[in-house]
Structure 1
């Protein structure tokens, strides 16, 4: 008898939400972003208190740090499957690996998207309440697009880590690769090959956070580039799950 997708997805959500590291990382996306946003806006009026810089990016700057919690969530959602033979038990219940992988990816991405959207809109309005004369409304050009885009971007980063963790079978290895790659690699590549860094997943994806994008790709095109990186990671993770023993 074929197990319905909805039943597998429900089971995967129970597993992910019951793992403290996974649920904690998901909660941290919201907490880190809101705490950092409020700390800066309440204390000095924002990340750039003189109102300098792109106004939409200034309102959504916390996405740069929330993405680290998002990739941690994506990694820990998978790594628990490789502890104490948990993946073998999962495959015993759902022998179709494609179904199991798709359900887990859908739940991980859906949870990250929901939390990402709540985070982006909440932090936007909370920060602007303390921005004084530099406050912008959701009707500011690019603001609504940026809030929706920030949520999508965080979901993409979670799924990028998801696929990579299935490939590497280790959350530690995934975080050891992605964290420095997100924080340092764009600057290193930018110094060597001007413009190439604009097509890295984080630099391209974050163009959606700007009123006036600063890279070579536009806001939605940049998010599309990030989505292609994520799709490649998901395919690599699926290949690894399909080919390797549990």
Structure 2
């Protein structure tokens, strides 16, 4: 496993697309967090408080940038797996590591580890940046439930990346993977969560469960739902990686 992990790490850091998607996760999240914080503060101070959602929560506001920054992390998870299928180098990988489960596990371990590092850094920078923008309308890291919400956000981003990699291993296509996951996270989940009678079911979608990890409520139910989705995707990918010819 050590040799496989080292090989996968070499691939990861030498492929520009994967490095750039990780960098974009950080840059997009921090940039939008700053814009969101200053916008809300400006709305309050200029007498346009009606432009702010009536259920505005300064804690959750700090994660607004992550909801868009995760797009790059979803792409990273997909490229982590599909880049080798696109170039055909997967044959060389499987020739070097005939135990497909070992090759698959090493790839996910390296990718998930990189995603976790980026997720922690992104959360610990973007959330304070947003609160700085909010000024007197924000809150602090010492507020009740905030440390738990910050940890939940980092876990969410990491699991989203792993979920994307599992779907990519199942489909073996970057375009198809992103064509399914982007609408799921940015259209299907948000729309269904606002439809009466359907919202109760929509909360079991991965994006909606993930958002509940980023608030101050009990995170365990949301964590179980998101972990279930991730395990199913990774398990399906593993089953198909073992059965297919390449």
- Scaled by the length of structure 1, the TM-score of the pair is 0.90
Which residue matches 1:215? none
Which residue matches 1:14? 10
Decide whether the 8 Å contact of 1:29 with 1:70 is kept in 2.
Answer: yes
Q: Are residues 1:227 and 2:227 paired?
A: yes
The structure 2 residue matched to 1:77, chosen from 64, 75, 80, is 80
Which residue matches 2:202? 197
Unpaired runs of 5+ residues, structure 2, are none
Q: How many residues align?
A: 237
Which residue matches 2:19? 23
Query: 3-state SS of the aligned residue for 1:139?
Result: coil
Give the Cα–Cα distance (whole angstroms) in 2 for the partners of residues 196 and 90 of structure 1.
41
Which residue matches 2:89? 86
- State the 1:55 CA deviation: 2.2
Q: Judging changes above 3 Å, is the alpha-carbon distance between structure 1 residues 61 and 187 closer, same or farther for their aligned structure 2 residues?
A: closer
Give the Cα–Cα distance (whole angstroms) in 1 for the partners of residues 123 and 76 of structure 2.
17
Which residue matches 2:65? 62
Which residue matches 1:238? 238
RMSD: 1.9
- State the 1:129 CA deviation: 2.2
Ranges of 4+ aligned residues in structure 1 off by more than 6 Å: 46-49
Give the Cα–Cα distance (whole angstroms) in 2 for the partners of residues 21 and 88 of structure 1.
20
Which residue matches 2:115? 112
- Scaled by the length of structure 2, the TM-score of the pair is 0.90
Decide whether the 8 Å contact of 1:59 with 1:124 is kept in 2.
Answer: yes
Residue-by-residue CA offset, 1:106-151 (whole Å, 9 max, x unaligned)? 1111111110011001111222223211121111122111111111
Unpaired runs of 5+ residues, structure 1, are 213-217
Q: Judging changes above 3 Å, is the alpha-carbon distance between structure 1 residues 56 and 43 closer, same or farther for their aligned structure 2 residues?
A: closer
Which residue matches 2:33? 37
Residue-by-residue CA offset, 1:43-82 (whole Å, 9 max, x unaligned)? 5538988575122101222121121111110001111110
Query: 3-state SS of the aligned residue for 1:195?
Result: helix
